[in-house]
Structure 1
Amino acid sequence: MHFDNYGGEAARLAAELANLTGPPAPDDLEPLLAAHGIVRRRLTAAQAEDLWAWSRSLAVCFGRQGLEERCEAVNSLLAEASSAPRISLHDGRPHLHYSAPGSDAAAHIRAVTAAGLAYVVCSAAPERLGRCARATCGLAFVDTSRNGRRTYCSVRCANNDAVARHRARSGRQG
């Protein structure tokens, strides 16, 4: 499934932030933000801390949950990010920006990721905000597969899980 930059890419950034394992240094976040098209990505230590706290809120939006619960979680993020979307023409084409001009970088990232999750829930399917089915993984991901039935964060996790299941069956038979 193809998502636009302001929807799917922002949701993929949300998944990567949700997968952080500890408070990041500002320099550690810069390549991640660049990879997801965030232009203002130089952060202060306080902004990196803010995004660490935000990432914990993002994390609850991924994985198996009912539609009402997921919508409640995303709505909570949208309320917390509370920005006014606006149409921008900075590159010659009209497109939405989810934060006010001049907002701080962390506020912009909060607004973009909340809007990206809302976009996926409303325009694709809420179930596309998944968690890896491999017992030892559990990473958050956005399912961009054609049929929307992805259950692993990566091909590597799917293969490792298949090998583990095969070995478990083989061990029982022999």
Structure 2
Amino acid sequence: MQFNHYGGEAARLAATLANSRSPWTPEELERILGAHGSSGRVLSPAQTREVWEWSRRLGVCFGEQPVDRRCAEINALLVESASRPHISLHDGTPHLHYSSDGADPAAHIKALTAAGLSYVVCFAAPGRLGRCARETCDLVFVDTSRNGRRTYCSLRCANNDAVQRHRGKKG
């Protein structure tokens, strides 16, 4: 499945942020943002903490849940992010930006991730915001598979779960 930059990559950024186990330094967060195509954001320690607190809320948007609950959670994020989409022509091609060019970096990340999650729910399928099915794993992911039936965060978790089920049948 192909997503545009704001849908897929922003939603994958939301998953990466939600999967983080400990707060980042500003430099670590900048590397994460760069890996998801949102480079050039220099964050202060206070802004990095603000994004860390935001990332704890992103995780509730993933996994099996009623669609109305997922939409309510994402709508709350959209309201808090105060996103004001606008069409930008900075590179000569019209495309949407979800925060102003001079926006606070933390506000930009909030707007970007909230918009990315909403894009996936509205234009792909709510179930594509998944949570790993392996009992001992709680990582979240954006399902970009063709059929939209991914249930594990990684091939490693899928294999480990299969091995555990196989061993359980023998004993």
Alignment pair present for 1:24 and 2:24: yes
Equivalent residue number for residue 154 of structure 2: 154
Q: Identity of paired residues, percent?
A: 65
Matching residue's letter, 1:58 = L
Cα separation, 2, equivalents of 1:133 and 1:165: 13
Cα separation, 2, equivalents of 1:30 and 1:137: 26
CA shift, 1:23, in A, is 1.5
Cα separation, 2, equivalents of 1:10 and 1:155: 22
TM-score normalised by the chain length of structure 2: 0.97
Alignment pair present for 1:82 and 2:82: yes
Matching residue's letter, 1:80 = E
Instruction: Report if the CA contact (8 A) 1:40-1:105 is conserved.
Output: no
Equivalent residue number for residue 121 of structure 1: 121
Cα separation, 1, equivalents of 2:28 and 2:162: 33
Cα separation, 2, equivalents of 1:137 and 1:27: 27
Cα separation, 2, equivalents of 1:103 and 1:42: 12
Moved over 6 A (4+): none
Alignment pair present for 1:11 and 2:6: no
Cα separation, 2, equivalents of 1:134 and 1:151: 8
Alignment map for 1:105-120 (pairs within 5 Å) = 105-120=105-120
Alignment pair present for 1:97 and 2:78: no
Matching residue's letter, 2:100 = A
Cα separation, 2, equivalents of 1:147 and 1:41: 35
Alignment pair present for 1:62 and 2:62: yes
Matching residue's letter, 1:42 = V
Cα separation, 1, equivalents of 2:137 and 2:29: 22
Matching residue's letter, 2:104 = D
Q: Secondary structure at the match of 1:141?
A: strand
Cα separation, 2, equivalents of 1:86 and 1:48: 25
Instruction: Report if the CA contact (8 A) 2:64-2:130 is conserved.
Output: yes
Gaps of 5+ in 2: none
Instruction: Report if the CA contact (8 A) 1:8-1:120 is conserved.
Output: yes
Instruction: Report if the CA contact (8 A) 2:30-2:39 is conserved.
Output: no
CA shift, 1:167, in A, is 0.9
